[in-house]
Structures are given as structure tokens and as C-alpha cells.
A and B are shown apart, each in its own frame.
Chain A
Amino acid sequence: MRKIAMMLVFLLFAGLQVVLAQRTITGKVVDSQGQPLIGVTVLVKGTTVGTATDVEGNFSLQVPNDQATLQLSYVGYTAQEIIVGNQATINVTLAESSFMMNEVVVTALGIKRESKSLGYSTSTVNTAQITEARTVNVGNSLIGKIAGMNVTAPPTGPGGSSKIRIRGQSSFGGNNSPLIVVNGVPISNNADVSAQNADLGDGLQSINPEDIESMTVLKGATAAALYGYRAKDGVIIITTKSGRGQQGIGVEVNSGFQADQALDYTDFQYEYGQGESGIRAASVADAQKSGVWSFGTKFDGADVWNVDGQLHPYVPYKDNIKNFYNTGLIFNNSVALSGGNENGGFRLSLSNSNANSIIPETTFKKNIVDLGLNYNLTKKLSVGLNANYSIEKKHNPPAVGGQDFNINNTLYTLANSIDQAWLEFPYKDADGNEQPLSRFTNRTNPYWTINQRFEDHDRNRIFGNVLLKYEFTDWLYIQGRMGQDFYSVAHDYNTPTGTRFLTAPASGFNGTYYQDQETFNERNLDFLIGANHSFGDIDVSASFGGNSMDQIGQVLSTYVTNFYVRDLYSTANGQTKEPGFSYYHKRVNSLYGTLDLSYKGFLFLNATGRNDWFSTLNPESNSYLYPSVSTSFLFTEAFASAMPEWMNYGKLRLAYAEVGGDTSPYTNQLFYGVNTNTFNGFALGYISNSTSPNPNLKPLKVKESEIGLELILLDRRISLDVAGYIKNTIDEILNVDISQASGYTSTKVNLGRLKNQGIEALLTLVPVRNANFTWETAFNYTHNTSEVLELASGQARIDVGSGDFFGTTSHEVGMPLASLRGFDYRRNADGTIQTANGRFLQGNIITFGSAIPTDIAGWLNTLTYKGFRLFAQFDYKGGHKIMSNTNMNMLRHGLHKMSLNGREGGVVFDGYNTDGSANSVAVEAESFYADYRSKAVATPFVYDGSFIKFRTLSLGADLSKYVSKSFIKGLNVNAYVNNVALLVGHVDNLDPETVYATSDNKSGLESSAMPTTRSYGLNLNIKF
């Protein structure tokens, strides 16, 4: 303990000591044509002290003494070593080498490997792109950037989640998001949704983008195989900055500002105003009954009673969306202090994000402290420590989907002759209750929601790990690591007293209040022994390790209904109290090993094996082995003499792996519960499970084969990375719907099979590259198709989620995943729509198509001119459908343009009666369109979900040279616009990216999310 304390003290002073003892050398690095090379790594050999060249190829570095040797390395160039001697300036020309030879990639378990040896696909994220055009959740900045990755930003506000899927949806379950590994240890990335339909965010939001040093995406099963049961969806590996390679003390300040503006895609009818059945309000009471119906009379400008009790001219109000939603303001500030010497480094960063949503009174604040330390205690023993502490406070995360308290739901159905501002004064009546605006009590007055309802979700989280590594010799090391991800959440929300849909209690006041305290703890212990050795032309490296993962989650909650004292939301004040406690514990132990062989540096063979033991499974069969094998062949090296000159680099990859999925604890038993309150003194006991338990479950397995090709041509002007894969999921654990007459709604079985296959490609072109100007243009493309191969015996489909008003997401044998299904019109034998008394009828449930895009593409352009950098991104998703519940509401409430048909004289629907005669009966318009709700016919509300977006435009300037004579080492400014324009879209009245749910069980089911936003941002980065 004393030694550790001494070490820490030493570390604190290390940076300062070193500064005093050293001298500075400067230099410039150029290529064979004399062009400056930007970003060349310059390291003092044998230490972690280093730097990188700037935009003009210059570097400046402190060296301990004249004996020091500088190592210069750069992708695609032959590394060089130079002894410093007494030189003060060192200019270096690097020779171009075979390309990609020395690029190092962080792979599973944090093992760094040379890119050329990998037999599987990985993508490295350009961290500049994610810090320059920022998103509050770092996951959302990955949209359109990585081939094989489908990222969606649900429109749920600044504290919301990011939905990331790699290579399709790997299981029928709702959560198929990749594993997030930070500094070698997995962290939780659970996306939580509150009982009030608010998106409570995910695990990625605890990470400050400024702290990210590198981000690698392991896309296939082979890349991820060492994570065994957690690898089915790929892995995102994040390494945070730790001051490694830093010399002396550095301070970096980053300050960003962003303004979010709600986008309004509505194209409503503005011919008829508020009212029902062709009649407009004749009294205040009428107005307060029909506030969400635009089935009144033609606009005539006459004074008409309205919801606020006033007379207003009967004219359209077209800007309710624009006027209701605020400009969301987001401030990001961070400061990082880093330092180091030849033995180690540290970095400490503090960041603060303060986001005000476009919805008033909705905020998200996060403060993050990130600490990275690494130190060589002796020549052989090194220690590393990373810790990330975040305080995330969400205030009033808005309800999305559903009806009650969903502000968007009310605004998107509000009659077109009401100015939304009238809802505010007054939003409550003299008794303090919600002022009515509609006979639909579920259309809560948005100002009531803003001012009376609250929800707070405060998370304190710390994750990180400590690593000890001991190198016995230069070919053998051992390391041990302990990682921890712990968070606690304080969460509460109310249903305010006086909300219209509530029932009055016999005494006291109505309303509810819920409060919970949640803790989550995941502990990972692991060790790894690695060795490498050469036998002639063959290099062998092998490692062996193990991991023990232990996870405990608990939630202590109280829910109270009705109050004694008005407007006091506390559990003590509740009339009826329901306490709850939930707890789970699971553990997975694992052993794994790797074996890597390379032959003459051009043929590589890698094999891994991992065995997992699960606490959640039947003890008779709780052990599973996950193998992988991959090979990489550098044909440009193997046949170097035969290669044409323009062929810089060529590699062929082949890989196969089997990985798994997880199971939940306690799924094997029937449990009983007793109601927390007695019924007049009688205890009510029941079977708790609604899913019939199955004690014989095993984890699902994903088998994936992958082939890939990497080419670099024409002096790096063209590079291509293309991969094809087939991913089969077997032994799916299915929550199979069973007959409710069995007493249960579902059971779990191990039967499902599904297949994803696709190709992903990244083509990077550099059409212009000279001393001052470079244009790099990159196309990424993903094509993924899925097919459900088998469900439980004889079952043709399972429904996994349903829309708020109609439609389901289902998986059907022989079809792609996530079929959107719903009722069609009832049809006659010849396919015409059947009518009875002028009305359509409910027909069969049919499949409209899959909710999952088959094609995703991104086009990323980077133009650099001297110190300026312009980035523009366009992206596309296509091949999928959206079922729009909101458009159904817009139609039945009389806003949708389709509702203009039949306003005068009724709708004579284009249908045929059973006797073959054409329908001639007119049905009053509002009554006719209301049938879409009651008969749940989905057909008119299914849209092609494809779109093309101008996603990002950013302009950055490196102004360092203007300040280089001051104490400021670097100055960068950056301005950006996110979500610049929707270029092509097919959904009426809405942005096609408006589907809010992060769960795959609700794919494609659109329902009253927040409007999407365009963000304008400005970012300033200063290095001292």
C-alpha cells in the first residue's frame, strides 16, 4: 500500500521533473516528393514519450539526452530510427513502403495487432469526425460512417439512446446492440425506457467524445470471438486517452455550443378548421371538446370560441410545431490535463454538457471526470488505470410513443385553427385541474405536461479498470486486470393531480408518484499470458487467459396512488403504496486462448477458443465453447516481384467463428407473488410468470463466415475494403407467443434459426492531393438481407411488438426479419375493397414488408486546404417500411390532406359491396375516418422508409500557426450543421427517421416521437 502511495506521488511530480531535465528538438517530416507528412508518430525509443507532426509536417519533442533515439512511423511508410546526438533540428524524409504494413489495431481483449495480420474486418473510427460534428450521445455520431453498421438516432431528446446494429439483427430478441468495451473491459450499454415512455438513455452516453483516443469496430463474429457469449452483435472497442506518449504537461480546452431546431415536415390541410362532423365550436365547451379535431367548417375568419375561452378569428395556424418547440441549446465544455515522461503518463479530463431540449423544461446535464494513468514501475512491470466517473441528470425526458403526457402526440393532432399558445393560458382551471382541450382525455395539454408532470433520472456512474502487466522477457508477459462498472440511479416521476384522464378518489386527490433507486454492478476479473517466438520463417504468438464476470442489479421502488395533501409528490403522502424490490445476480466464467502463426510476413493464421460457463443455465449443460479461425494473405507481399507498380497493397481474408448470446437469470423457475396491498384484509397470491419457464435453455449461437479483400492502388489514391459474410443464428431463445388459454402469454424455447448475409464495402478515393489541397471522398455501402429460417415447431410467425394504435412487428418463417403486419381492408374476391353501408371493413392481417433497411450507404467528403478542413456527409437507407401511427391520427383528426375527401356531402368510398355493386353510400367524413382507428386498417399508413439525407456539413480551421509564438500550442475552431437536409423521403408529414424505439421489437412502428432536429454547432479547441 505504501508503495502504491509513493508511486502515485511520484507520478504527480514525474511530469514536472522531466520537463526540467530535458531539451527540445524540432524537425520536419516529408515524403519522397518533399510534401509534408501530417500525423507522423515520433517516439523516443524505449519510452512512451512522443508526439505527432502537425499539418506542415513539423514536430517538436523533448528528449532526455543525446543518446536518445527517435522512432518515426507512419502508415504506408517505412519506419525510421534516428539517434539524436547533438542535433537541435532533425529533418526526415520517409520512404513509402508497402502499404498498411505497420498499422496497429486494437482488437479483442485490448490486444494490439498489426492490421495486415487480421483475417477479419475491423473499422477504425475517425475520431476527428466525431468530435468535430458532435452529437450528445457519441453513438449517434457514427451514423453513415461505417460500412456494415446501421446507426439510428431515435428522436427522443438530448439524453436519449443511440441504436446501433452491426451486420443486421442477430436475434429475434429486442436488444441486438454491440458490446461496448472501454479500455479492455466491457461496460453496460443498456438502453432504458421509463414506464412513462421516456428514453432514459444508454451506456454510451457516459463517455465524453473528447476522451476517446481510438474507436475500433469489430464487426464479425471472428473479430469478436474472444468475447464469446457477448460477441453476437460485434464489439465497439474504445480506448480512452491516458497521456501515453505525452511529454511534459499539456492542457487542452474544448468548448462547444450547439443549437437544435425542430424540423417541421407537416403538410396539413388548411381549408377546414377546428370542429367535428362539419360543425365548428359554438361555445367554449364545444371548443374544449373538439380541440384535436379539424373537421369543422371552411375557414372564413369569423370569430369563433376557442379552447382558451376567448373568441378568435377562424383562420389556420400553420406554425404550431415551430412555435411550440424551443431552440434547444447545448453547451459542452471540457478541459484535459495531461503529462508524462519516458516512464508513463497521465491524463485527467473534466467535461460538462448542458443540454436544454427543444421541449421546455426538459434538460440533460452531464459531468464526466476521466482519468487515465500508465506507468512503468520497473522495466518489466507496468501499471495502467482508467476511471470514468459521470453524473448524468435527466430532467423531464419526454414521453415518446403512447398517448398520455406525450406532448408531440397532442401537438401533431391539435386542430389547425388553434394557436398552440392558447393552450398555455390557462392550462389549468380555477381548481388547479387540467384545462380540457378535447374529449380525448389522453391528449394531455402540453403545457400541463410541461408544468405539472415531472420525471427525474439521475445516474452516478463509475467504470474503469486497473491493469498490471509484467514482462518476463521480450517474448513473454502476463497481465491481470480488474474492471468495474457501477452505477446508481435515483429516479422518480409523477402523474399530476388534476390530470383529466385520472379518476377522482373517494377522498383526497388523484395522481400517482413513483420513486426508485437502482444499482448496477458488473465486475470483471481477467488475466492474460502472452508469448511469441520465431522459428525460422514462422512467427508464433499465443496467449491464454480467463475472465470472471459477475453482475448484480437491484431496484428498490415505491409506487403510490392518490394523495392526502394536494401537489405533494412523496411516497409518504400516497394513499395506496406499492413497494417493490427486484434483484438479479449472474456470473459467467471463461477461459480463452489464441494462437497466431505468420509465415514470412505474408500469410497469417489466427485461431481462438473461448469456453464460457453460465450461472443462468441448467448445471447439466452450462458450458459452451466458442471457436474462431481466420487467415490473412498479403498477395502483394507474397508475389511482390510480379505485382504491377500501381498495386500498392493487397490482402485476402477468410474467417469463421461461432459465438453466443446470453440468457437471463431465473428463467428456469415458476415464481409466486403476493399483492403488496391486501384486498380488505385478504392476501392476493398468484403465479408471477407470464412466460412459462423452461429449465432447459441453452444460449443461442451465431455462426459466421466472412471473406474480405483489401486493396490500395495508385499511390493510395484508391483504397478498397470489401467484405462478404453469412451469419447464421441457431438455437435462438425465443419468447414464443402461446395461446393465452394456456394461462401464459409466452414460453421460452431454443428453436429459432435466422440468417443474415450481406456485403459491406468502403471505397476511399483521393482525387486531389497536393501540398495545399486534398480532397478525400469515401463511399461506404452495406447490403444486408435477413431471413427467418425456423421458429418453434409449426409456428409460422411470432409477434414481438405492437404499435400504439395498430400494426405489429413480427418475425415470419421465410421472410426477412421484422415484418410489419397489420390489417388490410376486407377485400372482395377480385381484390377490390369491400364496403358495407358505405364503410370499409377489417380484412386479413397481411405483411407489408420488413422494417429493417437492406441498404445503407454513406458518402463522406473531406477537403483540406492548408489549415482548413471541410467535411460533408450524405447518407442513405433503403429497402424498409415504416408503419405510421401518427399519420393515422392525423387522418382521423382531420389534419392529413387525405381527410379533405368527403368534407362536403360525405365520403363515397371507392369500394364494392358484396353483391358486386359499387359503393354509393356517403358516410360523414369524421365518422368515416374514425373507422381507421376502430377497424385498425393499416394499409394507407405504410410507407417506404427509404431516405437520402445531407447529414453533416462542417468546416474546421487549424489556426495554430497564428498563435504559435504564444504559449498556446494549438488552436482549432470548427463549425458544423447536423441533419442539414432531407433530400429524399417518402413518409407523409414526418421525417422518415422518426421511429423512436431502440428496441428491435418495435422496429418500424412510428408513433408520436419528438420532431427531428437540425443542429448548428461551433467548437473551439485550444491546446496549451
Chain B
Amino acid sequence: MKIKHIITAVFALMIGVSSCDKDFEEINTSPTQATTLDPMYQLAQAEYSSAVSDYHYQGEIVQNIITPYGGVLEGGNRNTYIDANASAFFVGLYTGPIKNLIDVTEKLKDNPDRVNLYSMARIWKAYCFQFLVDCYGDVPYTDAGKAFISNTFLPKYDDQKAIYDDIIKEFTEATDALDAAKDKVPGDIFYKGDIAKWKKLGNSLLLRAGMRYTKFNSSTAATIVAKATNPARGGLLSSNADNVALQYTSAFTYPTGSMLNGGERHNYYVGAPLVNYLKLTNDPRAAYMICKYPIPANPLATAGTPNTNLADQIGMPYGYDETTIANAPGFPGKIGAAYAYSQFNRATVAAVEGKMYLVTYSQTLLLLAEARERGYISTGTVKDYYESGIKACMTQQSYITITTAQQDAFLAGAEVAFDPASALEQINEQYWISSFMIWNEAWANFRRSGYPALSPINYPGEDPSVDAGTAGGFIHKLPYTNREKSVNPANVAEATARMGGDNLGIRVFWDK
């Protein structure tokens, strides 16, 4: 054997080892993962992921949707606090859209070449934070989303009024900064970068934020609404083509639709107040919203032909559980594993590949109707805004065919026909219908306007906080998440003290 060769080989190995960190930086560079990305794609992701499913609390609080069951399904149906369901919006928005939008805005804030992308990100970031404040009150704002950027791991909670002030500034400044002559943003899901439409969206969101102040401070509301409606600033959403919505696909399914078509399909029903109102007004939209399936527990394909006849619909009343529901007045009995109450139409509003609306032309018109009624604006008539708002809703989905005659007949109906004496009530009841399945907005508008005049559900095991103080039997705020109480206790405690508590009965600032 060539012993010398072996020894040489062994020493070569020694030498190899002793150049001890050669190529290490190259080895520790991932060849498959990106370290940079055009922020435009993050805007798209933020737009997509900001559409959080809000049936567990918001949809139940506004009495559109109900399950009699407890356990993991519990929440607004029983006026109790279930962390997993109440924390979904906090977790979903901060770790999804806000995380990415802050990365985008931090990168682009000093980049004049991408002012449009930057402004869109600002507007949508403000939308997300408004959603959070409306749910939780004080939330992290100035420190939010900055774990990597500034090692801010435990953000402080900002005062909700201060956050609203800044949101309003953001809607205003960013809308004004949009410039059709500047950068193109073709990756934008909402409008493919159409600057005029973004200006309309910015202003419509500003209008919406301004109207939140009607109860808290009417003059502030008037000032903001005036700014939002100033035509020189680009106008408001002006047709259903301007709606912000996500059209889901087979790869990206509608979360609420998937739930109502999937394993929970026989556990969810339409709330009695909604069914009763649709019947009261003889609303032609009802046929596309609710129905009764012959075999509710089956998948859509085998559930049978849905009965959409409005007169046959029965909503499930609130205040009962799966046992006591059998004692509810007018209990319609069961069909197999399911109850014989009306359900969401799984082929239209709750389709797996359905459309989820975030901000609509109809909502905007109804807000304008109220603004006109309150004298914040002086153009147009309340009646026109009101009626156009209803008509816009009746034509916003492609599968709806409600003829002009049907629309007019509806508008002439006893409950719907515009009555100046009950304008606010009528407008906000229709806002409730227009915000069907845009439930976070419906909940905020219900708290602000007091309409529709829903009755407290009075569930026997409800959380005592909904009956304490001024809560009046309704949920006014979602408590902070258990995880946040555990991980970020000092900041949560500070915010809780500032708000006078952290429970279902606490009101956010504009709800006082």
C-alpha cells in the first residue's frame, strides 16, 4: 500500500479543516429565498389578507347570522367572550396586511418615484387600523409592525382618538398625494392602479371615518365630511364599478362561504331579525341572500333545490342554545341533523368562489344621505341619496336580476318609502342591509347610529359585562387577546385603565 499517499490524504484533510470558516458566508446565504421584493406585491397581499371573516362576532351582533351551538362556535351568538374568535381580527390584521404595509411605507416614504404605491399603502393601512379601533378601542399604532424595523417587540397601545386623528390625516394626505402622472401600480388588486378610483376610495373612506363622529362630536364629523366630499379632491365612489371587493377563486376561496358550505353548513342559520326585516319590506334581494334547503346538512350539490320564497323563510331567534331552541316560539323543527330555519344562499352570497365586499358605492350613498340629512353637505337630496343607495345595492352583484320596476316597487313599499320624519332610521336600516356580510362595518354603524333597533339577545349564560353600565345587552367592544394579555401585559394594562376596562360592554370613543 502507498502509505505515504494515505498520510498525505489525512494531512490534506487536516488542512481543509483548519481553514476554519472558509465560504461560511456563502453557505449561510439561502439560494432559494428572496431577500428583496417589489413592494407592489406586498400591497396586493395586504389587500387580499385584509378581508377577514367576521361572522363570529360582528355578524352575530348585528343579528344577521346565528348558530345555536357553543364551544368553538361561540361568540356573538351568546354574548360571551371566546378568545379564539375575538382575537382573529387582531391577529389577522397585524400579522398580515399591517406587517406588510408598514414594511412598504417604511421603504417608500422617502421615494418620490413611487408616490402612488406609497399612498395606496397608506390608505389601506389606515383602513386596517380603523377596523381594529372599531373592534378593540385603543390598539398599538405608532409602534405597530416594527419588530424587525426597530426591534419594537412589545408595542405600546395608542389612544383610540389619536389613532383616528391620524387615520383621517392619512386618508386625506395620501388621497391628495395620488398623482396619475406618477408611478403605475398594475399589481393593485382593487383597481389595477387606477388613480382616479383610488382617490374616490380614499375620499369614501374619509367620509366613512368622518361619519363615525356623529354621536361623539358632530362638528368634527361635519368638518371631515366636508373635506371628503370636496369635489376638487377627486370625489367619492360613483358607481358599482368603484366597489372594493375580492372575487374569490378555486385557489383562494371565500372564508365565510367556505365555512357555510363546509363542515359548519348545518350549524349556521339566518338571524330572525334580518329575516323578519326582509319580509317586512318585501325585499327582492332576499331571494339571493337567504333560502331553505331540503337537506341542509348535505353539501350544496345534494342539498336539494333551495326554496327562496320569502314568505316561507324563518329566521332563528337569538337567546337560545341547541337545547332551548326547541322551546322557541315558532320552532320549525329539524331536518335530519339540521334545523328547519333559513340559511344563507350557498350559491350566491355564500358561494365558495363568491365575492366579498369591503367598501361599496351603496354604503357611500347612504352615508351621504345621512350627511345631507344632518346638514354636513348641501348638495343633492336625502331622498335621492337614499334611493340611489338602495338601487346600487340591488345591482351590485352580477347574479342579481332585480328589474327597475321591482326596484321602484320596493322603494314605494310602506316601510321603505322615504319618510323625512324617520330618515335616519330608514337610511341606517338600509345601511344594515347594504352591509350584509360586511359585518364589521354594519356593527360600527349600528353602534354609532343605533339602527336598526335590535333587541338585546338576553342569552341566559351571557357575559355579565354586556349588561353592566351602559352596555344595554349588546357587545360594544372585543376584549384584547389572551396572548396579548400574557405577552404584552404592561401595555395592555395601561390601555385597559385608559378605557375604563376591557370587556364586551366597554364602548369605543365614538360610541359614547
Is residue A743 within 8 Å, beta carbon to beta carbon, of the partner chain? Answer: yes
Is residue B353 within 8 Å, beta carbon to beta carbon, of the partner chain? Answer: yes
CA distance A526 to B14 in the complex (A): 8
Q: Which of A152-160, A188-196, A412-420, A582-590 contacts B (4 or more CB under 8 A)?
A: A582-590
In the complex, how many angstroms separate the beta carbon of B296 from the nearest chain A beta carbon? 11
CA distance A495 to B91 in the complex (A): 28
CA distance A839 to B82 in the complex (A): 15
Is residue B369 within 8 Å, beta carbon to beta carbon, of the partner chain? Answer: no
Q: Among B13, B144, B253, B299, which residue has its beta carbon within 8 angstroms of that of A741?
A: B144
Which residues on B sit within 8 Å (CB–CB) of A962?
none
Mask of B23-49 contacts with A, CB within 8 angstroms, 1/0: 111011111111111101110110011
* B140 with A934: CB separation less than 8 A: no
* B44 with A672: CB separation less than 8 A: no
Which residues on A sit within 8 Å (CB–CB) of B40?
685
Q: Among B17, B25, B152, B251, which residue has its beta carbon within 8 angstroms of that of A677?
A: B251
Give the contacts of A824-870 with B (CB-CB under 8 A). Answer: 836-839, 841-842, 845
* A744 with B99: CB separation less than 8 A: yes
Give the contacts of A498-528 with B (CB-CB under 8 A). Answer: 500-506, 525-527
Is residue B483 within 8 Å, beta carbon to beta carbon, of the partner chain? Answer: yes
* B460 with A591: CB separation less than 8 A: no
Given contacts A470-B3, A685-B37, contact A623 B337 (CB under 8 A): no
Is residue B1 within 8 Å, beta carbon to beta carbon, of the partner chain? Answer: yes
Q: Among A431, A584, A923, which residue has its beta carbon within 8 angstroms of that of B302?
A: A431
CA distance A103 to B100 in the complex (A): 63
Which residues on A sit within 8 Å (CB–CB) of B183?
none
Is residue B330 within 8 Å, beta carbon to beta carbon, of the partner chain? Answer: no
Q: Which of B55-63, B68-76, B215-223, B405-413 contacts A (4 or more CB under 8 A)?
A: B68-76
* A743 with B20: CB separation less than 8 A: no
Mask of B66-109 contacts with A, CB within 8 angstroms, 1/0: 00001110100000111100000011001110111011000000
In the complex, how many angstroms separate the beta carbon of B237 from the nearest chain A beta carbon? 20
Given contacts A277-B323, A504-B261, A679-B48, contact A687 B100 (CB under 8 A): yes
CA distance A665 to B103 in the complex (A): 24
In the complex, how many angstroms separate the beta carbon of B408 from the nearest chain A beta carbon? 34
In the complex, how many angstroms separate the beta carbon of B337 from the nearest chain A beta carbon? 3
Mask of A674-713 contacts with B, CB within 8 angstroms, 1/0: 1101011011111111101100000000000000000000
* B17 with A288: CB separation less than 8 A: no
Q: Which residue of B lies closest to A683 (CB)?
A: B41
In the complex, how many angstroms separate the beta carbon of B331 from the nearest chain A beta carbon? 14
* A934 with B155: CB separation less than 8 A: no
In the complex, how many angstroms separate the beta carbon of B217 from the nearest chain A beta carbon? 27
In the complex, how many angstroms separate the beta carbon of B140 from the nearest chain A beta carbon? 4
Give the contacts of A581-640 with B (CB-CB under 8 A). Answer: 581-587, 589-591, 611, 613-616, 619, 622-623
Which residues on B sit within 8 Å (CB–CB) of A442?
263
* B263 with A747: CB separation less than 8 A: no
Is residue A480 within 8 Å, beta carbon to beta carbon, of the partner chain? Answer: yes
* A738 with B20: CB separation less than 8 A: no
Q: Which residue of A lies closest to B155 (CB)?
A: A741
Is residue A927 within 8 Å, beta carbon to beta carbon, of the partner chain? Answer: yes
Which residues on A sit within 8 Å (CB–CB) of B460?
837
Which residues on A sit within 8 Å (CB–CB) of B266?
439
Q: Among A619, A692, A836, which residue has its beta carbon within 8 angstroms of that of B21?
A: A619
Q: Among B34, B103, B153, which residue has its beta carbon within 8 angstroms of that of A739?
A: B153
In the complex, how many angstroms separate the beta carbon of B102 from the nearest chain A beta carbon? 7
Q: Which residue of B lies closest to A678 (CB)?
A: B251
Q: Which of B4-12, B161-169, B269-277, B395-403 contacts A (4 or more CB under 8 A)?
A: B4-12
Interface size on B, residues (CB 8 A): 112
Interface size on A, residues (CB 8 A): 113
* B32 with A527: CB separation less than 8 A: no
In the complex, how many angstroms separate the beta carbon of B128 from the nearest chain A beta carbon? 12
CA distance A568 to B105 in the complex (A): 46
Q: Among A503, A611, A665, A930, which residue has its beta carbon within 8 angstroms of that of B28?
A: A665
Which residues on B sit within 8 Å (CB–CB) of A665?
27-28, 30
Is residue A343 within 8 Å, beta carbon to beta carbon, of the partner chain? Answer: no
* A927 with B10: CB separation less than 8 A: no
CA distance A468 to B28 in the complex (A): 32
Given contacts A622-B21, A738-B147, A934-B74, contact A679 B262 (CB under 8 A): no
Which residues on B sit within 8 Å (CB–CB) of A587?
23-24, 27
* A613 with B21: CB separation less than 8 A: yes
In the complex, how many angstroms separate the beta carbon of B70 from the nearest chain A beta carbon? 5
Is residue A668 within 8 Å, beta carbon to beta carbon, of the partner chain? Answer: yes
* A738 with B154: CB separation less than 8 A: yes
In the complex, how many angstroms separate the beta carbon of A154 from the nearest chain B beta carbon? 26
12 A-B pairs with CB atoms under 8 Å apart are A378-B3, A500-B263, A503-B258, A506-B351, A666-B33, A685-B45, A687-B42, A737-B486, A738-B154, A738-B487, A742-B155, A845-B486
Binding site for B on A (CB under 8 A): 3, 276-277, 283, 285-286, 288-289, 377-378, 380-381, 431, 433, 436, 439, 441-442, 468, 470, 478-480, 500-506, 525-527, 546-548, 561-562, 575-576, 581-587, 589-591, 611, 613-616, 619, 622-623, 665-666, 668-675, 677, 679-680, 682-690, 692-693, 736-745, 747, 797, 799, 836-839, 841-842, 845, 892, 914, 923-924, 926-927, 930-931, 933-934, 936
Beyond the given A503-B258, A615-B24, could you list 18 further A-B residue pairs with CB under 8 A, ordered by the A residue number?
A380-B3, A546-B18, A561-B251, A585-B28, A619-B24, A619-B25, A671-B30, A679-B251, A679-B252, A680-B189, A685-B40, A685-B41, A692-B147, A737-B483, A742-B94, A845-B482, A926-B323, A936-B83
Binding site for A on B (CB under 8 A): 1-3, 6-7, 9-10, 13-14, 16-18, 20-21, 23-25, 27-38, 40-42, 44-45, 48-49, 70-72, 74, 80-83, 90-91, 94-96, 98-100, 102-103, 139-140, 143-148, 151-155, 187-189, 246-247, 249-253, 258, 261-264, 266-267, 297, 299-302, 321-324, 334-337, 351-353, 460-461, 463-464, 481-484, 486-488, 491
Q: Which 7 A-B pairs have the closest CB atoms?
A: A685-B41, A743-B99, A285-B336, A289-B337, A441-B263, A503-B262, A501-B263
